């Protein structure tokens, strides 16, 4: 994290840039995480992060157009620039240097909503594939009669249900106050990787029509790509899961 908030009297002065911030054009305020210090730990120095609530229009804070990405083309991202942006200590969310505590309150539930989105879109894509496999004829029969197609459908349906159950289990644990970070990480990891496999198979089952912009499969395939990246990449989810597995054995 490069954006810094330097304490000056009762104020903080913020300098830095944030990329890929969704819907900043319509937001009234942003929640910003910035470096406010550094602490020593047995594993070396670690940045201390503070969370701020900053209103749009605050002097020194500008919003610029972001990047055009392949997934979710109706979903716009922006670049936030902070140049000597002064805010009061009343803008701190939670406590100074405890920004991750604030983020952790919602990171888990946004991961769960990514997982749920992947499951929902997976069901829609599977349904479209079932209809296509049952009606598209080649070599005198519906393509769903060929094992190369039908086994794909079987794998898609099986992995989809597995992802749904992992998602429901994490949601149930959240409701019961039993959830751990690794529950959300497993649901997000598996559901987003499942959707990648499922939509890729869907394109294959549809053949050329799977790549046509007129067909929703093409969009589902593109949109699936970002799910393995935002809200923590698949690699970060694997870190969370593996750390939890090894923690009890740490000496």
Q: Which residues bind ligand FAD (CB under 6 A)?
A: 20-22, 69, 77, 226, 229-233, 235-236, 239
**Cβ of residue 144: shortest distance to ligand FAD, in angstroms?**
35
144 or 232: whose CB is closer to ligand FAD?
232
The token pair at 248 is: 């009890």
CA pair distance 185, 5, nearest whole angstrom: 30
**Cβ of residue 120: shortest distance to ligand FAD, in angstroms?**
19
Angstrom distances, CA of residue 124 to CA of 91, 116, 118, 172, 221: 43, 13, 10, 23, 12
1 or 154: whose CB is closer to ligand FAD?
1
**Cβ of residue 241: shortest distance to ligand FAD, in angstroms?**
12
Contact 210, 218 (CB under 8 A): yes
Is residue 91 exposed (0-12), middle (13-18) or buried (19+ Cβ within 10 Å)? buried
**Cβ of residue 29: shortest distance to ligand FAD, in angstroms?**
13
Q: Can you state the angle between helices 181-206 and 99-135, rounded to 10 degrees?
A: 30
CA dihedral 18, 19, 21, 26 (to 10 degrees): 80
The token pair at 216 is: 């929703």
218 or 231: whose CB is closer to ligand FAD?
231
2 or 55: whose CB is closer to ligand FAD?
2
209 or 229: whose CB is closer to ligand FAD?
229
**Cβ of residue 239: shortest distance to ligand FAD, in angstroms?**
6
């Amino acid at each position: 994290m490069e954006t810094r908030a330097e304490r000056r009297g009762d104020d903080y002065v913020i300098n830095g840039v944030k990329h890929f911030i969704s819907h900043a054009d319509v937001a009234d305020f942003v929640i910003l995480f910035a470096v406010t210090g550094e602490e020593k730990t047995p594993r070396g120095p670690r940045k201390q992060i503070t969370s701020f609530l900053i209103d749009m229009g605050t002097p020194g804070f500008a919003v610029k157009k972001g990047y055009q990405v392949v997934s979710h083309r109706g979903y716009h991202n922006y670049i936030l620039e902070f140049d000597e942006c002064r805010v009061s200590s009343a803008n701190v969310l939670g406590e100074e240097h405890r920004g991750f505590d604030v983020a952790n309150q919602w990171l888990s539930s946004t991961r769960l909503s990514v997982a749920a989105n992947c499951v929902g879109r997976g069901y829609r894509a599977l349904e479209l594939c079932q209809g296509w496999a049952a009606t598209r004829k080649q070599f005198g029969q519906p393509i769903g009669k060929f094992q190369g197609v039908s086994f794909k459908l079987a794998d898609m349906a099986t992995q989809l249900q597995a992802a749904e159950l992992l998602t429901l289990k994490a949601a149930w644990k959240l409701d019961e106050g039993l959830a751990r970070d690794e529950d959300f990480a497993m649901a997000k990891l598996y559901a987003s990787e499942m959707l990648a496999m499922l939509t890729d198979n869907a394109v294959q089952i549809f053949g050329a029509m799977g790549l046509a912009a007129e067909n929703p499969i093409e969009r589902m395939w593109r949109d699936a790509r970002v799910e393995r990246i935002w809200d923590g990449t698949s690699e970060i989810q694997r870190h969370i899961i593996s750390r939890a597995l090894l923690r009890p054995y740490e000496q």
